[in-house]
Amino acid sequence: DAGITQSPRHKVTETGTPVTLRCHQTENHRYMYWYRQDPGHGLRLIHYSYGVKDTDKGEVSDGYSVSRSKTEDFLLTLESATSSQTSVYFCAISELVGTGRNTIYFGEGSWLTVV
Protein backbone atom coordinates (compact mmCIF):
# COMPACT_ATOMS: atom_id res chain seq x y z
CA ASP A 1 0.00 0.00 0.00
CA ALA A 2 1.11 3.53 -0.75
CA GLY A 3 2.11 5.59 2.28
CA ILE A 4 -0.98 7.69 2.81
CA THR A 5 -2.32 8.54 6.25
CA GLN A 6 -5.52 10.38 6.96
CA SER A 7 -6.39 11.94 10.30
CA PRO A 8 -8.67 11.90 12.09
CA ARG A 9 -10.22 8.66 10.89
CA HIS A 10 -13.49 9.35 12.64
CA LYS A 11 -14.93 12.61 13.91
CA VAL A 12 -18.26 13.87 15.17
CA THR A 13 -18.65 17.61 15.25
CA GLU A 14 -21.39 20.17 15.72
CA THR A 15 -22.92 22.33 13.03
CA GLY A 16 -21.05 25.59 12.62
CA THR A 17 -17.71 24.41 13.97
CA PRO A 18 -14.54 24.37 11.86
CA VAL A 19 -13.03 21.01 10.99
CA THR A 20 -9.68 20.17 9.43
CA LEU A 21 -8.81 16.83 7.91
CA ARG A 22 -5.21 16.00 7.25
CA CYS A 23 -3.69 13.86 4.53
CA HIS A 24 -0.05 12.89 4.85
CA GLN A 25 1.95 11.02 2.22
CA THR A 26 5.42 9.55 2.25
CA GLU A 27 5.60 8.90 -1.53
CA ASN A 28 6.67 12.39 -2.62
CA HIS A 29 3.88 12.39 -5.21
CA ARG A 30 3.07 15.67 -6.88
CA TYR A 31 -0.70 15.37 -7.08
CA MET A 32 -3.01 15.14 -4.10
CA TYR A 33 -6.79 15.03 -4.04
CA TRP A 34 -9.68 15.24 -1.63
CA TYR A 35 -12.84 13.34 -2.49
CA ARG A 36 -16.09 12.80 -0.69
CA GLN A 37 -18.06 9.59 -1.08
CA ASP A 38 -21.81 9.52 -0.64
CA PRO A 39 -24.42 6.88 -1.50
CA GLY A 40 -25.77 7.41 -4.99
CA HIS A 41 -23.10 9.97 -5.86
CA GLY A 42 -19.98 7.84 -5.99
CA LEU A 43 -16.76 9.78 -5.60
CA ARG A 44 -16.83 13.54 -6.05
CA LEU A 45 -13.73 15.67 -6.22
CA ILE A 46 -13.61 18.51 -3.72
CA HIS A 47 -10.18 20.06 -4.33
CA TYR A 48 -6.89 18.92 -5.69
CA SER A 49 -3.28 20.04 -5.66
CA TYR A 50 -0.62 19.81 -8.33
CA GLY A 51 2.24 21.06 -6.18
CA VAL A 52 3.14 23.00 -3.07
CA LYS A 53 0.82 26.01 -2.79
CA ASP A 54 -0.83 25.02 -6.08
CA THR A 55 -4.44 23.99 -5.65
CA ASP A 56 -7.62 24.06 -7.67
CA LYS A 57 -11.31 23.43 -7.17
CA GLY A 58 -13.12 20.24 -7.95
CA GLU A 59 -16.78 19.73 -8.65
CA VAL A 60 -18.07 20.16 -5.06
CA SER A 61 -15.74 22.77 -3.56
CA ASP A 62 -18.30 25.07 -1.93
CA GLY A 63 -17.86 25.14 1.84
CA TYR A 64 -14.35 23.65 1.67
CA SER A 65 -10.86 25.09 1.50
CA VAL A 66 -7.49 23.40 1.21
CA SER A 67 -3.86 24.15 1.82
CA ARG A 68 -0.63 22.52 0.81
CA SER A 69 2.42 24.09 2.38
CA LYS A 70 4.55 20.94 2.06
CA THR A 71 4.68 18.20 -0.53
CA GLU A 72 3.64 15.61 2.01
CA ASP A 73 0.63 17.32 3.59
CA PHE A 74 -2.71 18.32 2.11
CA LEU A 75 -5.25 19.80 4.50
CA LEU A 76 -8.99 20.00 3.94
CA THR A 77 -10.90 22.54 6.03
CA LEU A 78 -14.60 22.91 6.55
CA GLU A 79 -14.83 26.49 7.74
CA SER A 80 -18.29 26.04 9.26
CA ALA A 81 -19.50 22.47 9.13
CA THR A 82 -23.04 21.71 7.98
CA SER A 83 -25.03 18.50 8.13
CA SER A 84 -24.75 18.16 4.35
CA GLN A 85 -21.01 17.70 4.82
CA THR A 86 -21.54 14.48 6.75
CA SER A 87 -19.67 12.06 4.54
CA VAL A 88 -16.66 9.85 4.09
CA TYR A 89 -13.66 11.79 2.89
CA PHE A 90 -10.86 10.15 0.94
CA CYS A 91 -7.48 11.55 0.19
CA ALA A 92 -5.63 10.33 -2.88
CA ILE A 93 -2.20 10.83 -4.38
CA SER A 94 -0.80 10.45 -7.87
CA GLU A 95 2.32 10.96 -9.90
CA LEU A 96 2.68 11.34 -13.63
CA VAL A 97 5.18 8.66 -14.51
CA GLY A 98 4.26 7.91 -18.05
CA THR A 99 1.50 6.36 -20.06
CA GLY A 100 0.40 3.05 -18.66
CA ARG A 101 2.01 3.50 -15.29
CA ASN A 102 -0.14 6.22 -13.81
CA THR A 103 -2.03 5.23 -10.73
CA ILE A 104 -3.99 7.04 -8.07
CA TYR A 105 -3.63 5.67 -4.54
CA PHE A 106 -6.17 6.24 -1.81
CA GLY A 107 -6.05 6.75 1.91
CA GLU A 108 -8.26 4.79 4.28
CA GLY A 109 -10.91 7.47 4.60
CA SER A 110 -12.13 9.85 7.27
CA TRP A 111 -15.68 9.42 8.53
CA LEU A 112 -17.15 12.82 9.43
CA THR A 113 -20.52 13.27 11.10
CA VAL A 114 -21.92 16.76 11.56
CA VAL A 115 -24.73 16.91 14.12
CA distance 54 to 57: 11
| Nearest of 61, 71, 67 to residue 24 by alpha carbon | 71
Beta 19-25 vs 4-7: how paired, if at all?
A: antiparallel
**Which CB atom, from 83 or from 100, has the smaller least distance to another protein?**
100
Instruction: Report how far apart, in Å, the C-alpha atoms of 94 and of each of 14, 57, 76 are.
Output: 33, 17, 17
Q: How far is the CB of 96 from another protein (least distance, A)?
A: 6
CA distance 84 to 94: 28
**Which CB atom, from 48 or from 64, has the smaller least distance to another protein?**
48
**Which CB atom, from 83 or from 99, has the smaller least distance to another protein?**
99
Q: How far is the CB of 18 from another protein (least distance, A)?
A: 26
Q: How far is the CB of 13 from another protein (least distance, A)?
A: 20
Long-range pairs of 45-51 with CB within 8 A, sequence gap ≥ 24: 46/76, 46/89, 47/76, 49/74
Q: How far is the CB of 14 from another protein (least distance, A)?
A: 24
Q: Which residues bind another protein (CB under 8 A)?
A: 1, 31, 33, 40-43, 45, 48, 50-51, 54, 56, 58, 90, 92, 94, 96, 99-109
**Which CB atom, from 58 or from 63, has the smaller least distance to another protein?**
58
